[in-house]
């Protein structure tokens, strides 16, 4: 948590770490560089979004219950990836003001983006172990877990030609 806290101070710090991971992935000989997407959960989703904001050559980016705020908003034309964020309406870490700011940022950047806000869902809605953490606003939500995964699969089917999620 200490290291994550230090990275959150600067979007560039997050992007530096995320780019390093992306470089390792894309250096692998079996990777088709024209078909790379990034997904992440919580801070990993924030990192994926920062890759998109920074103009990395990705087809799609998906963040599940990720933070949406940034210290370096996307500039017009910078976002190459199609962006999907899946957020719980009751997530205290991603309040309505942050969602609204993200909408404004993506609109201003001219990005291909979508945000799905799930009713009845809080933070960590994809993590079955979240209920045992006894933290306010952190709770697994099975319907949203399944729905958000299908939303990602639908985006990947559209952008990468992968099979759609089974119901």
Domain count, the chain: 1
Which residues partner with 62 through β-bridges?
39, 84
Name the 3-class secondary structure at 165: coil
Domain assignment present for residue 112? The answer is yes
Alpha carbons 88 and 107: distance in angstroms, whole number = 21
Q: Is residue 166 included in any domain, yes or no?
A: no
Whole-number Cα distances in Å, 21 to 13, 15, 27: 13, 10, 10
Query: What tens-digit pLDDT sequence spans the chain (167 residues)?
Result: 566 555 666 788 899 999 999 999 999 999 999 999 999 999 999 999 999 999 999 999 999 999 999 999 999 999 999 999 999 999 999 999 999 999 999 999 999 999 999 999 999 999 999 987 778 899 999 999 999 999 999 999 999 998 887 65
Query: Considering the domain boundaries, does residue 43 fall inside one?
Result: yes
Is residue 133 included in any domain, yes or no?
yes
Per residue in 15-46, is it b (16+ CB within 10 Å) or e — as a string? beebbeebeeeeeeeeeeeeebbbbbbbbbbb
Q: Is residue 26 part of a domain?
A: yes
- pLDDT at residue 2, rounded to an integer: 62
What CATH code is carried by the domain that includes residue 14? 3.40.50.1820
Residue 54's pLDDT is 97
Tokens representing residue 4 in the block: 């994550």
**Could you tell me the residue range of the domain that residue 131 belongs to?**
2-160
Q: Is residue 165 part of a domain?
A: no
């Amino acid at each position: 948590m200490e290291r994550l806290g230090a990275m959150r101070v600067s979007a560039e710090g997050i992007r530096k770490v995320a780019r390093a991971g992306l470089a390792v992935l894309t250096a692998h000989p079996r990777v088709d560089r024209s078909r790379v997407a990034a997904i992440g959960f919580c801070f990993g989703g924030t990192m994926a979004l920062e890759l998109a904001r920074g103009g990395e050559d990705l087809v799609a980016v998906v963040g599940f219950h990720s933070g949406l705020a940034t210290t370096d908003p996307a500039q017009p034309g910078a976002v190459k990836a199609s962006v999907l964020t899946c957020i719980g309406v009751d997530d205290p870490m991603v309040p309505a003001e942050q969602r609204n700011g993200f909408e404004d940022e993506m609109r201003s950047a001219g990005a291909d983006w979508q945000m799905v806000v799930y009713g009845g869902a809080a933070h960590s809605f994809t993590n079955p172990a979240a209920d045992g953490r006894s933290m306010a606003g952190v709770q697994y939500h099975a319907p949203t877990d399944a729905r958000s995964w299908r939303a990602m699969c639908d985006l990947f089917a559209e952008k990468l030609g992968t099979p759609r999620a089974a119901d």
